[in-house]
Structure 1
Amino acid sequence: MKLRKIWVLPLLLALVCSVGCGGKADLLHGYEKVVSSMGSLARTSEHKLIGTRTCGSDNYTGAYAATCRQARGKDVVFGGCSLQARRLQVTGSVACQSGFVQLIVKNGSDELWLTPDANGNISQEITGSGGDWYLSVEYADFSGSVTLCSAYAK
């Protein structure tokens, strides 16, 4: 926790220095950059992922695929912190041979569980308010496959 506090002070100092005499828009843009960079720290790093992630245009979009054998753990696949609301379309599939897998979208304190249909397919539009927003996959002795795609809804 102290490490996070140590990072906050230089980031706030950089924000104040970068804004200078700019207006409200400059201040909001600088604050958005700080919040966004801190939010990306919660995503699972590439080398620790159970599956593989292909990044899209930002931290909220892209593709994820995992073929597992007795996997345990959690991948925070997409997401971050932002002042902006986002509307995303999440599609994918789950093929479970054994064990358990959960697909969870967290927006602040709200949780939405993505439930595959009878064929194992997922398709859901998600509107998240500003703040933190994360799509995670949680595995418990899971054998099978998971594919996900997150894109901005049209």
Structure 2
Amino acid sequence: MKKISAILLAACLALSLTSCGRTEDVWGFLSGLAQYLGRSQITKSEDLIGSRTLEKDAYTGDYLARCEGVTGRDVVFGGGSTETRKLRVYGRVDGDSRKAVIRIRQNEEVTELTPQKDGSFDTLLSCLGGGNYIMVDFKDFEGTVELHSEYAREKTTGTEAEETEKTNSEEIREEAKS
């Protein structure tokens, strides 16, 4: 991520010093560069432990892995972007959840989701610009991992959305401490 940030900073500096375009052109260039660099972090479909179906973009879709003693990592959804996104990530881990860990990387911060007793998990993410990735780490895992990512529905009032985001951020931080 530091490498991506350095490249973006260098591109911003170079473009601002040369005055080579309108603000929209510069922003479009930076957005395209972030997307290009972000795609390199996603596991290619043919290299996945499980199978992935993308929906609207690389941030949304479905993933299913049926495993027998598998070790490895699938970076399933996400990318680099200058845009803010709100995602709902949910699913289920059937098997030893300590051996199949759902991880969320938002720039430098990494959070591990802790499934409920029945193996289910459900969280809302507020992805700011930068690198945001949803991944599964397997360690000698036997079982099934089901993962879904979709755009979160917007709340009707700004206050409700702020309260929900605050609550979810607190829950994620508490899960990370556990």
After TM superposition, the structure 1 = structure 2 runs for residues 58-73 of structure 1, keeping only pairs within 5 Å, are 58-73=57-72
Report 1 or 2 for greater relative contact order, CA contacts < 8 Å, sequence distance ≥ 6.
1
Equivalences, count: 141
Three-state SS of the structure 1 residue aligned to 2:46 is helix
Retained in 1: the 8 A contact 2:97–2:119?
no
Q: Which runs of 5+ in 1 are unaligned?
A: none
User: Percent identity among equivalent residues?
Assistant: 34
**Residues 110 and 97 from structure 1, CA distance in 2 versus in 1: closer, same or farther, beyond 3 angstroms?**
closer
Whole-Å Cα distance in 2 between the matches of residues 99 and 149 of structure 1?
Answer: 19
AA at the equivalent of 1:134: Y
The residue number in structure 2 matching 1:150 is 149
SS in 1 for 2:59: coil
Listed as ranges, the gaps of 5+ residues in structure 2 are 154-178
Spell out, residue by residue over 1:56-104, the C-alpha distance to the aligned partner (whole angstroms, 9 max, x if none). Answer: 1111111100000001000000111111121100011110058711100
Moved more, 21-30 or 133-142: 21-30
Q: What amino acid is the match of 1:138? A: D
Contact 1:94 1:120 in 2 (8 A): yes
Shift of 1:118: 1.0
Instruction: Give the structure with the larger strand fraction.
Output: 1
After TM superposition, the structure 1 = structure 2 runs for residues 47-58 of structure 1, keeping only pairs within 5 Å, are 47-58=46-57
Note the C-alpha offset of 1:113.
1.1
SS of 1:39's equivalent in the other structure is: helix
SS in 1 for 2:72: strand
- Superposition TM-score, scaled by structure 2 size: 0.73
Q: 1:95 to 1:36 in 2, by over 3 A?
A: same
Aligned to 1:39: 38
Secondary structure in 2 aligned to 1:118? coil
Q: Does 1:88 align with 2:98?
A: no
Alpha carbon RMSD of aligned pairs, Å?
Answer: 2.3
Runs of 4+ in 1 over 3 A off after TM superposition: none
Over 3 Å counting, the alpha-carbon distance change for 1:105 and 1:98 in structure 2 is closer
Distance in 2, Cα, partners of 1:124 & 1:139: 20
Query: Which structure has the highest helix share of the two?
Result: 2
